[in-house]
Amino acid sequence: MPTPSGHTRAIVASRVTGTRVYNPQGESIGHVEDIVLDKMSDKVMFVVLGFGGFLGIGERYHAMPWSMLDYDKERGGYVVTLSREVLEKAPTYELNDLLKQDGAGQAPSLDYYAKFSAH
């Protein structure tokens, strides 16, 4: 979640998707591939962070809590306050696997990130 800055708290999903994501050192760690919603409630289940790959091949995905994305206006993207080592050890998935079984990647991912969340 961004630090309150006086801006509207509403944002459309289409603007979130495609936004670049950085670590605190300013290195790009990927982009928001999509946002997973829960059909049975009004919750955002998690955000799909895409990274790696080349020319569309080999891209991998993290399932990351929406609350971990802090928008940084100067950088024009989200900052995720995790070190590179932590991210490298995070669970990664094929995109389809994230959605199967009610967002299969969610539980192990959210457990993983909960340890590091400053919020």
Look-up: residue for tokens 């409630």?
Answer: 41
**Shortest distance in whole angstroms from residue 89 CB to a copy of itself:** 24
- The single-letter code of the amino acid at 92 is T
Of the candidate residues 20, 23, 35, 51, the single one contacting a copy of itself (CB under 8 A)? 35
Judge whether 87 and 81 are in contact, CB under 8 Å.
Answer: no
- Binding to a copy of itself in span 99-118, by CB under 8 A: 99-103, 106
Q: Is 21 in the site for a copy of itself (CB under 8 A)?
A: no
What is the number of alpha carbons within 13 Å of residue 92 lying toward its C-beta?
14
Strand order in the sheet with 77-79: 20-22, 77-79, 70-72
Q: Is 90 in the site for a copy of itself (CB under 8 A)?
A: no
Of the candidate residues 19, 20, 23, 44, the single one contacting a copy of itself (CB under 8 A)? 44
**Shortest distance in whole angstroms from residue 108 CB to a copy of itself:** 15
Residue 92 CA to its chain's centroid (Å): 12
Residues across the chain: 119
Q: Is 23 in the site for a copy of itself (CB under 8 A)?
A: no
Where do contacts with a copy of itself occur on this chain (CB under 8 A)? Answer: 1-2, 4, 8-14, 16-17, 34-45, 48, 65-67, 71, 98-103, 106
